[in-house]
Amino acid sequence: MAEMLQNLSNDLAATVEAAGQSIVRIEARRRQTATGVVYSADGLIVTTHHVVERDDNITVGLPDGTSVAATLVGRDPTTDIAVLRAQANGLTPATWAELDAMAVGHMVLAIGRPGRTLQATLGIISALGESYRTGAGGQIDAYVQTDVVMYPGFSGGPLVSAGGQMLGLNTSALMRGVSLTLPTPTIRRVAETLMTHGKVRRGYLGVSAQPVKLPENIAQSSGQEHGLLVAAVEPNSPAANGGLMLGDTMLTFDGNNVQQMDDLLALLHSDRVGSSVPVRVVRGGEIREIQVMVGERN
C-alpha cells in the first residue's frame, strides 16, 4: 500500500513538472499576479480576461525563470478569456484534451505559477454538464466544476488531467464561490477569434424582455405557449430603428422560436451582425412581422 501511494505521489509530481513547461506567470494587474498557458510556440498565451486589468505594460514570467514583455491580442469578457503575445519563441505549447476526456470523479490538478515556481492542488471533477451561457452572454461549451482549491494567482491556469493534458482554464470570476473550468472547445473557439479579429463580435438589439404566457388563440396559431414581452427599448437602438415597440411580444427571431431571454441571446451571434432579420411579434392581439437590422455590441 505504501509503495502504491509513493508511486502515485511520484506520478503526480512528474505530471506537474511536465505540465509546468507550458505554464507562465501573468503580471497584468495591481498587486497580484496570475497564471497563463502557452498556446503556441511563438509566444501566444491564453489566460482569463479578469486577471488582465491593463492593456499595456504586461509582463509574462516564463518557465525558465526569465520575464518578457507581452501585448494584449484580444479579450472576451463574456467568456472570461484573453489572449496575449509574449516576446518569446521556442515555447512549449500545451496539449489540450477534448470534452470526452472528462468524467465526474476523475482526478485532476489545478496548477498555477503566481510566482517564479509552480504551485498545485489536487481534486476531482465534481460536476460535468451541458453548455451554458454566462451572465454576460458568453457561450461556454460545457459546465465543468471541480473541488480544487483556487489559491490566489491560480486564475488563468490550467486544469490538468492525471495524464498531463490540459482540460481547460480555471476561473474564479464566472460564479462566486465555485471553481469552474473553461473547457478546451471554448478556449479554442474564442482564442482563434481573438487572434483573427481582436475581439468576439456579438449581436445587439437593445431590448429588455421577459417570458410571458401567450393567449390561447395566439398559442394555437403560433405553435408555442410562451413569448418574450418587450419591457424596454433603448432609444436609437437596432430594435427601435426596426420598429420594435414597448409591449410587443416576440414570437420568433429569424425563424427561430424565442420563449426565454437565453433563446434570443443565443441567436445574436457574430454571423448575424449587420444582417436584416425577420422578427414575428404580437401587437394589439395580432401577429405581424417586422425587419430588424442586428447591430454589434460594443
pLDDT in tens, 37-66: 999 999 999 999 999 999 999 999 999 999
**Where does the pLDDT of residue 144 fall: very low under 50, low under 70, confident under 90, or very high at 90 and above?**
very high
Phi, psi values for residue 52, rounded to 5°: -105, 90
Given a cut of 90, is residue 2 above it in pLDDT?
Answer: no
Torsion region of 181: left, alpha or beta (phi above 0 gives left; psi -120 to 50 gives alpha): beta
Which residues sit opposite 179 in a β-bridge? 146
238: part of which helix (H) or strand (E)? helix 238-242
Q: Please give the Cα distance from 260 to 227 (Å, whole number).
A: 7
Q: In this structure, are strands 276-283 and 256-257 parallel, antiparallel, or unpaired?
A: unpaired
> Residue 226 is which amino acid?
H
Given a cut of 90, is residue 180 above it in pLDDT?
Answer: yes
Which residues sit opposite 48 in a β-bridge? none
CB 38 within 8 A of CB 92: yes
Show me where the domains of the chain are located: 1-200, 203-296
**Where does the pLDDT of residue 14 fall: very low under 50, low under 70, confident under 90, or very high at 90 and above?**
very high
CB 17 within 8 A of CB 10: no
CB 234 within 8 A of CB 170: no
Q: Please give the Cα distance from 9 to 78 (Å, whole number).
A: 38
139: part of which helix (H) or strand (E)? strand 139-140
Residues taking part in catalysis: 50, 80, 155
Phi, psi values for residue 31, rounded to 5°: 65, -10
Asked if 1-200 and 203-296 have one fold, the answer is no
Supply 187's cell numbers: 478556449
Q: Please give the Cα distance from 195 to 197 (Å, whole number).
A: 6
Q: What pLDDT is attached to residue 178?
A: 86
Which residues sit opposite 133 in a β-bridge? 139
Entry pTM: 0.82
For residues 81-109, give the mean pLDDT: 97
**What is the CATH architecture assignment of 1-200?**
Beta Barrel (2.40)
Q: Please give the Cα distance from 30 to 258 (Å, whole number).
A: 43
> Residue 17 is which amino acid?
E
**Where does the pLDDT of residue 10 fall: very low under 50, low under 70, confident under 90, or very high at 90 and above?**
very high
Q: What pLDDT is attached to residue 125?
A: 97
- Chain centre to alpha carbon of residue 173: 11
Q: Please give the Cα distance from 186 to 277 (Å, whole number).
A: 27
Tell which wins on pLDDT, 234 or 200: 234
> Residue 8 is which amino acid?
L
Residue labelled with grid coordinates 494567482: 153
Q: Running DSSP on this structure, what letter comes out for residue 21?
A: G
Count of CB atoms within 10 A of residue 188's CB? 15
For residues 253-279, give the mean pLDDT: 89
- Chain centre to alpha carbon of residue 269: 14
For residues 87-109, give the mean pLDDT: 96
Q: Which fold has domain 203-296?
A: Pdz3 Domain (2.30.42)
